[in-house]
């Protein structure tokens, strides 16, 4: 692997971010979320989930590099 993990992870999210947003928009406009409570719960789950997945990648990488004893993933 020629690139650092951080660079690859950020590129991955630059590609998947718009796809994730398009999926969210498709669900939002589909009519499945009929009440304001439905919309609020949807947003309270989707937005933190995206951020959690992004941050969790760095946590996993840090633990992996600590196990290998090679220091930091950067």
Tokens of 37: 């409570």
| Residue 70: band (very low, low, confident or very high) from pLDDT cuts 50, 70, 90 | low
> How far is 73 from 49, CA to CA, in rounded Å?
23
Return the exposure string of 32-55: e unless at least 16 CB atoms fall within 10 Å of the residue's CB, then b.
Answer: ebeeeeeeeeeeeebeeebeeeee
**Confidence (pLDDT) at 71:** 58
Tell me whether residue 73 is in a domain.
no
Q: pTM for this structure?
A: 0.69
pLDDT, tens digit (0-9, with 9 covering 90-100), for 10-34: 888 999 999 999 999 999 999 999 9
Tell me whether residue 74 is in a domain.
no
How many domains is the chain partitioned into structurally? 1
Transcribe 28-46 into DSSP letters: HHTT---SHHHHHHHHHHH
> How far is 48 from 51, CA to CA, in rounded Å?
5
* pLDDT beyond 60 at 62: yes
Tell me whether residue 49 is in a domain.
yes
Domain that holds residue 24: 5-29+37-68
């Amino acid at each position: 692997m020629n690139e650092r993990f951080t660079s690859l992870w950020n590129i991955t999210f630059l590609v998947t971010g718009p796809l994730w947003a398009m999926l969210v928009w498709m669900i939002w406009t589909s009519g499945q979320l009929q009440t304001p409570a439905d919309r609020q719960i949807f947003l309270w789950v989707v937005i933190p989930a995206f951020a959690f997945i992004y941050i969790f990648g760095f946590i996993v990488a840090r633990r992996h590099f600590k196990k290998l004893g090679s220091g930091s993933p950067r």
